[in-house]
Structure 1
Amino acid sequence: MKISIQILIILILSLESASSQTFNAYVTMVNGIEYRIDPRIELFNIVAMQIGHSGMTLSNIPYKQQALKRFSDYQAHPAPKVLRETWEKGWGIDDPMFFLLYLNEDFSIKEELDTDIITRGGGKEQLESLAASLKEYAEASDFYSFFNDEQKDFYEQVLFQTRYNFRSFEAVDVLENFYGKGNGKYTVMLNLISDYGNFGKIMELGGVSLFYAIISTPLASGDVPVFKPNLSTQELILHEFSHGFVNPQVNPFSDRLSGYSPLYGPIEQAMKSQAYHHWHTVVNEHVVRAAVLEMLSQELPEILVRNTLYRKEMGRQFIYIDKIREKLAGYQQNREVYPSFKDFVPELITVFDEITPDYITGRINEPLLVEMAGNKKIPKPYDFQKDSTTFFIVGTKEPDPIAQQEMHAFADEYRQMFSKDIRFLTDEEALEMDLKNHDLVLFGTVEGNLLLKKHMSNLPISISEKGVVTNRFIEGEDLQLVTSWISPYNKEKSFIVYTAQKTKNIKNFYHSMHKDQFHYWVAKDLITIDKGDYKKYWNIWMVDIFE
């Protein structure tokens, strides 16, 4: 009897110990944003890997391998099966992550869980079963030790890098200057394993708005995932937090917005391919994306935003953002009338009255987007025929006639290094010719070469007297640029550019072994300052926004 009582006491104590286990807080605060590694997300992703979920990141391999090996004995646990069942009930792409936000640390479900998430997940009992199975899995596998101790150094390294990388990123100021001040708390959850989407959510707790952005990254260095405020991540964080400002203000107008639902038709296929199956969701996405473009255009050169993020949105067929941006410009110019975004929403939604069939046709058939959509690759600067089908074309309108003459001499010498059969033309001569069957190699400044001036705006990078815009703004003087694109006359032919801020610097490019190895190369005195290759996002070629 005495032994039985002792055993009972031990069992009770062990159960109390298991139920009272807690997770370490891996968090760093940077400029008003809390960056966090969350145990619910890490546990969920480990279980998801065990059912073969295909949306895991291609990087961060050692961490994934450690997790798979560490929890291999628990693949037969009920949790993976229940998770699969829940997904198959009809969960959408963002439902799992939002469900996790509504889990307490003891895996009980908060009462505020969205009814739509419950419905799509198979009902309340199904989600309670999932939450309970995740809790049992964590306890049976001792996930607590994995998260708190075994991966502590790894998590702290991720946060250390993140804190340093985001030290100058002032997203909270940007958001609240645009939408208006709010009583909010901002948290970025760093998703270390999965890469099937990024998500934003706002929750209300005790009068405080909790803004969440759950982000992943394709980048890694030394087997450690790297989160940094490149163009993509800046857009991503502003986008996800913006949903917390936009959705609560636009949603009350759902009945009115439903009257514009025929506008969904022209873009339905593109929207459904991105998991936006309802017109009202598409409205929110358009407004958020237009707002983010406006915010970033105030923080970054407009040409940078237009050449990258705007191109991407048009490639994804968010064709109404131009009209919405026009409206938002009016909002920003009249803040005394509209102190906050909330005040402006009734006016904003009238924008859909202005959408005409001609506007829709013009955006869907935008020449640059249609022209580039089918291209499988962009030529490099060395990709041109070394024969008479290639034209070397020099500018004749350079402001410095002596520098222009020297540039002509260099271009001719450079031509002969490849082949004397290559034809040597002026820009004026070229503009009078049929160029569709020729590779074109241009020399001159944007203003000094008439052919370059005509087509430079089609390229995803730019050069001006202030600097060069690639996936960042490179300020400076005497900068040189070599880049390549498809010919505006024939997408099977090359359009190669040797240019600079000043005519005098368009020379001696043959002294650099790097100048033609990338889609774009920026230099000063032939010393590399920036380089990169174009990437294809949603059928649109542009600079790499993840670098």
Structure 2
Amino acid sequence: MNEKLGKLNITIDPRMELLAIVQYFSKYADRFYGLVTRERDIYTDRVMDYFQQYKNHAIINLFDDMSLNGFNFDAPPASILYLSNPPLLKEKFPFDEYVIRRAGGREKLENFIDLLRDFSEKTQFISFFEDNNNQIFYKQVISSVMQKINNLDYISILEDYYGYGKGSYNIILVPLFSNGNYGHQIKDNEGQEHIYAILNASHVEDRITKELLINLLWHEFSHSYINPITEENWKQVSQYNKMFDPIKETMDKLAYSTWETCVNEHIVRAITVRLICLHIDSDEGKTLLEDEVKNGFIYIKELCKLLEHYENHRNIYPTFKEFYREIIKFFSEIYMHD
């Protein structure tokens, strides 16, 4: 199920639905509150009725074990993106080291995929996914999102801000996800980079506003720009890891438990604020900024001021990659001051 809006692909992805169903029948929602819905609706009732008899399949227990040992939050959805559609679930592109590490090693990841494939085949998952009632539901979810974001070229704005584009931009909506939203990037065999915003779509019609969708879209897509740049500059950025100490406890609660993830979140959130200020509404951007400060992102105000310098000097910084040295300098100045 796929629709296009300019350069943006909006989908309900069978790979992600298969994963979400495994998570739904596991203990994941209890252990990681809010990531998978526990509310009942027509769709969850269909899921329950169809898959209930397979709730003791080995993939459920394996996922419970792996999710307690680091294979959680963004890692499971990210791993699915490297595969072909069910029931085959073949490795289309080589898994990156991040996904392998989060799974606990290649052997565990391959075992997970093997059992997921077996679950897909035994349950005849594709019959469920292609059921007419479910297809109508998926179409309604996609339509609701398209109606809320169809009056602005969000991708061109993003490409202009960073100074370059990607191979494709994809929103994957997951009706069984409740709060979790994730960004990931896949490099195909030709070297093209494809970026994904994996967004929860539980009660999308009445819970997800246009403003929230735009925030999520720019936020999650920005991770696929920012995270690789931080990784390229990690030797320098890591020198200032003591800046993490004052906010470590707060960041841990938000699942940003390392200095690297903290850096990326600060930069991505600052850029999202600036994009909203520039292209949506300045007051809305300021409100978001204040919310981010309240949430513990203590460096974000100064980062936003720094980004204004970037915006006003694009002749010096044609892409964000060139500007990143100014962010490193920013960290250095705070570090030396403290």
TM-score (norm 1): 0.57
Question: In the alignment, residue 197 of structure 1 is paired with which amino acid?
Answer: G
State whether residues 242 and 288 of structure 1, in contact with CA within 8 Å, keep that contact through their aligned partners in structure 2.
Answer: yes
Q: Give the 3 Å change call, closer, same or farther, for CA 217–145 of structure 1 in structure 2.
A: closer
- Equivalent position to 2:105, from 111, 117, 123: 123
Deviations for 1:276-329, whole angstroms, at most 9, x for unmatched residues?
Answer: 11111111111111111111100133222212x112211211111112112211
Question: In the alignment, residue 339 of structure 1 is paired with which amino acid?
Answer: P
Structure with larger RCO (C-alpha < 8 A, sep 6+): 2
2:89 corresponds in structure 1 to 107
Q: Give the 3 Å change call, closer, same or farther, for CA 357–57 of structure 1 in structure 2.
A: farther
Question: In the alignment, residue 267 of structure 2 is paired with which amino acid?
Answer: V
State whether residues 201 and 244 of structure 1, in contact with CA within 8 Å, keep that contact through their aligned partners in structure 2.
Answer: yes
Question: In the alignment, residue 187 of structure 1 is paired with which amino acid?
Answer: N
Query: Displacement of 1:274 after TM fit?
Result: 0.8
1:315 corresponds in structure 2 to 294
Q: Give the 3 Å change call, closer, same or farther, for CA 218–135 of structure 1 in structure 2.
A: closer
Query: Displacement of 1:80 after TM fit?
Result: 1.0
Matched position secondary structure for 1:34 = strand
- Equivalent position to 1:255, from 229, 235, 245: 235
2:316 corresponds in structure 1 to 337
Matched position secondary structure for 1:29 = strand
Mapping of residues 20-31 of structure 1, within 5 Å: 26-31=1-6
1:380 corresponds in structure 2 to none
Determine which structure has more spread, i.e. the larger CA radius of gyration. Answer: 1
Query: Displacement of 1:60 after TM fit?
Result: 6.2
State whether residues 144 and 204 of structure 2, in contact with CA within 8 Å, keep that contact through their aligned partners in structure 1.
Answer: no
2:32 corresponds in structure 1 to none
1:167 corresponds in structure 2 to 150
Matched position secondary structure for 2:28 = coil
Is the helix fraction higher in 1 or 2? 2
Query: Displacement of 1:110 after TM fit?
Result: 4.3
Deviations for 1:30-70, whole angstroms, at most 9, x for unmatched residues?
Answer: 13210000111111111112123213235562211110111
Mapping of residues 219-258 of structure 1, within 5 Å: 219-221=203-205, 230-258=210-238
1:455 corresponds in structure 2 to none
**1:216 and 2:200 correspond:** yes
Q: Give the 3 Å change call, closer, same or farther, for CA 78–356 of structure 1 in structure 2.
A: closer
Q: How many residues align?
A: 329
Deviations for 1:145-199, whole angstroms, at most 9, x for unmatched residues?
Answer: 1101241221122223333332214210210121113243100000110124110
Matched position secondary structure for 1:164 = helix
State whether residues 138 and 144 of structure 1, in contact with CA within 8 Å, keep that contact through their aligned partners in structure 2.
Answer: yes
Question: In the alignment, residue 329 of structure 1 is paired with which amino acid?
Answer: E
- Equivalent position to 1:81, from 46, 58, 61: 61
Q: Give the 3 Å change call, closer, same or farther, for CA 60–349 of structure 1 in structure 2.
A: farther
**1:328 and 2:313 correspond:** no
1:529 corresponds in structure 2 to none
1:268 corresponds in structure 2 to 248
Question: In structure 2, what is the Cα distance between the partners aligned to 1:349 and 1:356?
Answer: 10
Matched position secondary structure for 1:91 = coil
Greater Cα offset, 86-95 or 324-333: 86-95
Deviations for 1:201-220, whole angstroms, at most 9, x for unmatched residues?
Answer: 11222132201000114535
1:280 corresponds in structure 2 to 260
Question: In the alignment, residue 327 of structure 2 is paired with which amino acid?
Answer: L
Question: In structure 2, what is the Cα distance between the partners aligned to 1:136 and 1:299?
Answer: 47
What runs of 5+ residues in structure 2 fail to find an aligned partner?
Answer: 30-34
Greater Cα offset, 340-349 or 55-64: 55-64
Question: In structure 2, what is the Cα distance between the partners aligned to 1:249 and 1:299?
Answer: 24
State whether residues 149 and 213 of structure 2, in contact with CA within 8 Å, keep that contact through their aligned partners in structure 1.
Answer: no
Question: In structure 2, what is the Cα distance between the partners aligned to 1:216 and 1:120?
Answer: 21
Identity %: 29
**1:41 and 2:20 correspond:** no
Question: In the alignment, residue 254 of structure 2 is paired with which amino acid?
Answer: Q
**1:192 and 2:175 correspond:** yes
Deviations for 1:100-145, whole angstroms, at most 9, x for unmatched residues?
Answer: 1122222123452122322332321211111111111111111111
Query: Displacement of 1:227 after TM fit?
Result: 7.9
RMSD: 2.0
State whether residues 201 and 211 of structure 1, in contact with CA within 8 Å, keep that contact through their aligned partners in structure 2.
Answer: yes
State whether residues 78 and 133 of structure 1, in contact with CA within 8 Å, keep that contact through their aligned partners in structure 2.
Answer: yes
Question: In the alignment, residue 121 of structure 1 is paired with which amino acid?
Answer: A
2:135 corresponds in structure 1 to 152
Question: In structure 2, what is the Cα distance between the partners aligned to 1:184 and 1:90?
Answer: 29
Question: In the alignment, residue 19 of structure 2 is paired with which amino acid?
Answer: F
Question: In structure 2, what is the Cα distance between the partners aligned to 1:304 and 1:48?
Answer: 35
2:37 corresponds in structure 1 to 57
Question: In structure 2, what is the Cα distance between the partners aligned to 1:53 and 1:273?
Answer: 17
**1:297 and 2:281 correspond:** no
Question: In structure 1, what is the Cα distance between the partners aligned to 2:60 and 2:50?
Answer: 15
State whether residues 166 and 195 of structure 2, in contact with CA within 8 Å, keep that contact through their aligned partners in structure 1.
Answer: no
- Equivalent position to 2:120, from 114, 126, 138: 138
State whether residues 28 and 36 of structure 2, in contact with CA within 8 Å, keep that contact through their aligned partners in structure 1.
Answer: yes
What runs of 5+ residues in structure 1 fail to find an aligned partner?
Answer: 1-25, 361-547
Matched position secondary structure for 1:104 = coil
